[in-house]
Structure 1
Amino acid sequence: MARLKGDTIPLLRRLWREWLSPHRGTLAVVLVLIALVGASTGLYPALIKGAFDAFDRKDAGALAYGPLIVIVVTSVRGFALFGQTVLTNRVVTRVEADMQAALYGHLIDADLAQLGRESPAAFTQRFTTDFAFIKEALTRISTVLLRDVAMLVGLVAALIWMDPVLTLVAAVTVPFVAGPIGRIGKKLRRVSTTTQEQMGATASLISESLQGVRIAKTYAMEGYLKGRAADALDSVRRLKMKAANARGRLDPLLEVGGGFAVAAVLMLVGQRVMAGERTVGDFTGYVAALLL
């Protein structure tokens, strides 16, 4: 963890200072839209519960205005999601282009000795594969980290408001799932870094071998070059499979953890309903929020 903090925090500060801070106004709008997404998501279970309560009471007014409220809330969430996606991509693509231009400028201004340490293919790869990772990371910070956290906060707030005891029971399963997910995340970061390095080495190998193909044919080295390329490409394949297998473990963990949480809640709901303390309609919104 010490190494991760030492490497990551300064990079994030530099990323903000040099590349993201000029777009602080757009990013502020993105944060507002993310907050709207979280708030509207938290309203979903409350709307469901209110609708079922209105059905039970045969409330004509609520039945008339209920669909309109649902349309308003879903429209706010939909347009907030759209705006957040568009603005995020606008900032990310602008930052990507600025960073690529800056990298090209540094390479042009660098001395020949520094440029000679790596092949042209390795430098070219930095403009493609490396920036693909950067773009994906920046996009995920907004769409996965911030937006999903806002949605989670909204849903948890709704759960606590509807029934704090059931929320506490559902939260008991979180520590059992969080540990394995954290370990999988660390493994994915390691594999991603290794994959990036291996793809750069593979691109350099292919470029150099194609540039020297005349000499290779002269000395009948085609089989040797094919073997090296096949080994390099297979190394990339194995690393991609490691990442895919690690990501594949997340879905079962989340499903099983969610299943235990839902099962525990249903047991308590059943006990309360059978004891006559509550009705099934009292828990419709809560179960809907838990499934979301």
Structure 2
Amino acid sequence: MTNPNPTDGQRGTRHPYTRRAFLAGGLGGLLALGGGTAWALDRFVIEHVEATNTSANSSSSVASATEASNGAFSVDSYASDTAKIAITRHTSGSGSDTITWFVADITVTDATLVRSAFADDEFGQNIIAYPSAIAAQAGAVLAINGDYYGFRDTGIVIRNGVAYRDRGVRQGLAFRSDGSMTLYDETTTTAARLVADGVWNTLSFGPGLVDDGRVISGIDDIEIDTNVGNHSVQGQQPRTAVGVVDDNHFLFVVVDGRSSGYSRGMTMTELATAFVDLGATVAYNLDGGGSSAMIFNSQLVNNPLGKGQERGTSDIIYVAG
């Protein structure tokens, strides 16, 4: 992939992800906590595999560095008989107020080409791998990190037409097999009903950013979880989000952040506004921070935290090749 930004060449080298090293580091930190060590280990570190070989359950690239008409740099593109992808790099502001983000504009002939994959092809808690590794295993052309479902034990989880979890607590996002995308209240339905209604994938993070083509009000004050280390997703942060323009026309957006002079990140309202400017009718926020990653043809497109290093996660959303 041709790099349109010379400063991106300063990214660090990716190192293979090793679960043993992660467990050792996590164990050392948790032992220092004292009283709740056993609970914390079980909840946040120890793998809990609930389903294996999950991929079996699933009911050409042209690089460039040209400037697009809207001032964004064209990073890469892909076209086949079933999918078209155009990736652009956007910047705004200057100095400490610089924001850098990446947009993948995707059209597919069949909505089921937009799929999900789990780390190690297993469903459960605390099972993680680099997004690029999950993407390679799935044969993805394009991928972004998902909602990190494995960090929590709540939320409706439907992936590739299969229901894995049915514990609705928050606002979710549904990808439907007809190519549409809708926000919904998890507490008013069930996973079985959603599957019967043609839902292909769900994501459970949030908040919803755009509905009916408009920025949703109050999103800068929403707290999506009360888990340890995840009380709030507010402020100027690295972001990952998805949206839809029209049936079978999707947007994947990844915003870099926490890197002075390169990208400060976006607020929720800034992210929602970016989607509206791109023509989205619906958009939804996913796991962000150091987890925010876009992978194209096995390569990391963005620059997480200005360090060029992926973080392990439990799942990806991807476009099949």
TM-score of the two chains, using structure 2 as the length reference: 0.19
Higher strand share: 2
TM-score of the two chains, using structure 1 as the length reference: 0.20
Higher helix share: 1
By relative contact order (CA 8 Å, sep 6+), the higher-ranking structure is: 1
Say which one has the larger Rg: 1
